[in-house]
Structure 1
């Protein structure tokens, strides 16, 4: 007799990446509004700016705004829905023997996908508020401390999980399996910390209250530097293992985890620079910002190329993306696509346009921005495809022994 099951029934904390990916796509749609809708006197567009642009804008502007509205609403809903599903599933998973085995293995670090997804949801909900809530900017100074409290709570959760993992593997030898360290999976804690850091940096770019900006700058810097150190150390040790044992096939997508880490930390630095400029009278040039973003983009392209070469050689896409096999780690492919799209938007607008190298909305502008939209489309396709693979029901025939 046939029963119905789905891969997500065999739970892994990596399924939090499904929520993360949907949140990332939400951010990618906000880039349309961020850089195409005028918002003079404010660092970000708000509901009133968007409505004014929609009322007086060209049909192309109106189409872009409607697309952004639909994309933000749909993927923010998916972000929250998948987060709630994961929190419920994780609660049940903790009661199983499989969870006890997980927290005694290298895979304990996968639990950091939870604070990572939580931090993304806070960011996504702030975007939803900016886009859909009238008058939000009038009370935004009261929201910034609340947001930092939320990020502080998530940061404490992440620190406890990292502390438990590192305390276990570093307090005595032989606990960490070096032969299974042949991927960048152990960079997930650094990704989680960087996501909290960029959340803490938001008030630095948007607040006009010096105390709020100061707290934002200090805490985001501490977390950002911590994320960088963790990334460097974990990546360096993983490369050694990969050279000896090859890259773990199902963890292959983690080779591109550097891409979202770079985007998140890059946005953190841009937010900090804006706060230094508006509040502390520290000024940097647009040319310096352009070179900074170019360097970040170069790092991303290098790791995208590395990941593509390895995954192609392993036949990963044929099996786990377009094929019938499933792996929760496949959701790690969404993050690099989203991160590249967002980084290109910043590179074009805060780099090339701001420095005067190209004209806004000119041929060169749309040529490069088109690459960001292509990356965004790939991310959307991955979210939808993986959602059907992992959360769609499929009939499974029971074997006689069952």
Structure 2
């Protein structure tokens, strides 16, 4: 039996998918559960031959659309599932649970004709043996009391999926009347936790994805309540400098620039991220044969900026309403340009707004630009290449050029943030900070 093993990116980590020549799914596992994938294939299909291959376009496209908010995009995907009679019956029933809803193990047992309450235990075991994550949505089955119970790929992923589908409330919301003092206290705690999260992330995996794609998603870097509070409270800061995008010929909407001294907690976040990214930036320069090396600490790098006349802060919030957009651009002005930056989403796609996707384009020599839509949810962040990154050609590394944009917001209001690690040369016009 010959099957094909492919890898695709997701906001929750790399996915391994197994399909056949007809593009039917046999397995979909997260890459940190590789042993589970191979054990399941061996138990169900014996000595199946796995051949590395690109992901079928139909599956990869459906996954991208699902993570972008088109929650029914996975429904038409064909699957092949081999298990016990009970397992196959449960797995088939799972595909009939609509996105945006949940059921309990007991209710699922009754729907399948089991009257004995103890059958819920067997239903739970069959659901837990599901070999196809997300497409066969066992994450939509929870306990009758609302507890998430178990999930083979981790409860943090189950919660993320249910929040993404609006089946459960996002993390607790803070009342709109919360005062700034409460904000400072709560955000100090949450962003201290985020800083600890930076240290615990798998930076070798992040570096590998940056090398391969020019971006890496950091899912749920801030909780839903924290992300909303960041947007709400930062928008109240009188020190923010509002610049209309149409005045820059850069789209429609507003950029709200922080000053040179970022407010809490953005300043700490920026410094902690820089510390993790500087080794990657230095390795990129080494690949390209460039002698420039970035210092280990952000303060030392910003001092180089100041000495070179780069004093115009670039970190900002972006506020886009219906029909607003941010055109393709890059921030590459100045002698000292850091090759990576962070973007974050502080609004909920599908709830607060529609449209407004983060779009990256990459231009390689003598080739058409390659666009990529990066799916972000509320509180997600992404590390993206600022302007250029190394790409391995047939004989050596060469530079590829990158830009990013935010597509047109079809409805609602989208609040995002960008953290730049270098400043722009002081100019009379903000437009000089951009390369369009």
* TM-score, structure 1 normalization: 0.28
Whose helix fraction is larger, Structure 1's or Structure 2's? 1
Whose strand fraction is larger, Structure 1's or Structure 2's? 2
